Amino acid sequence: MTPPDLDQTILLSLLGGGFATAFLHAALPTHWLPFVLVGRAQRWRLDRIMAAVVAAGLAHVASTALVGGLIVVAGLALDQWVSGLLPYLSAILLFVFGGFYLVRAVIRRPQLAGGPALETAGPAVSDAAAFGALVATMAISPGEVLLPFYLNQAQGGVAVLAALTVVFAAGTVLGMALFTLLARAGWSVLRLERWAQYEGAVLGLALIAIGLLVVLYRP
């Protein structure tokens, strides 16, 4: 029979490993770069960007937990189906969102040639639409690297799976927030505002590139 202290040590190691994995997973550009780019395009303050980060991070973990629970019930066959389909849905949304910004920048470009209209132009889309798109992009793309934790701990019971979900949420949200803050600070330090006239095109191309990264990155 396994001693209780050993069981507790194993559980703490499992939760610590889950937190570290979730935090490192949040370092992927798909988890922070869209928030920096869209936040600049929408002229959001930091609190608005962080609200989007938290909402999207929790949605990301919620979908991961949902898929993880289904994997526990249905087994590896469902895991393979999810791995093959859902990342492409997330990529499609990024393509559409990025394409909108890119097309809008190309259409607006001739109108901006005669004056500094860009400085007074409003956001490309409504705040609600931009916020919702960021959250949806993360919600329909569960963290594949976290799914094996659920399958491996299927015998641990609901309490262990719930504890894993909590540490996943903490690691993901903290990681996304930290990397978003660092990227936003780096943007200001490098004085990238000089490229503001190209911001719409850069944003569109960047979001499309992130969509490609979602498709190409297969953990």
For tokens 């898929």, the residue is 67
Q: How confident is the model at residue 205 (pLDDT cuts 50, 70, 90)?
A: confident
**DSSP secondary structure of the chain:** ---HHHHHHHHHHHHHHHHHHHHHHTTSGGGTHHHHHHHHHTT--HHHHHHHHHHHHHHHHHHHHHHHHHHHHH-HHHHHHHHHHHHHHHHHHHHHHHHHHHHHHHHHHHHHTTS-GGGT---SS-HHHHHHHHHHHHHTS--GGGHHHHHHTGGG-HHHHHHHHHHHHHHHHHHHHHHHHHHHHHHHHTTGGGGGGGHHHHHHHHHHHHHHHHHH---
Residue-range domain boundaries for the chain: 33-216
pLDDT score for 84: 56
Residues in the chain: 219
pLDDT score for 60: 94
Q: How confident is the model at residue 146 (pLDDT cuts 50, 70, 90)?
A: confident
Quick: pLDDT tens for 31-63: 888 899 899 888 899 999 999 999 999 999 999
pLDDT score for 58: 96
Average pLDDT of the chain, as a whole number: 75
pLDDT score for 101: 66
Quick: pLDDT tens for 72-121: 776 555 555 555 555 666 677 667 767 776 776 677 554 444 444 434 44
Quick: pLDDT tens for 131-144: 999 999 899 878 87
Higher pLDDT: 187 or 183? It is 183
pLDDT score for 189: 46
Say yes or no to pLDDT of 14 above 70: yes
Say yes or no to pLDDT of 179 above 70: yes
Say yes or no to pLDDT of 168 above 80: yes
150 touches 69 (CB < 8 A)? yes
Residue type for 20, please?
A
pLDDT score for 203: 61
For tokens 């600049």, the residue is 40
CA–CA gap between residue 161 and residue 151 (Å, rounded): 10
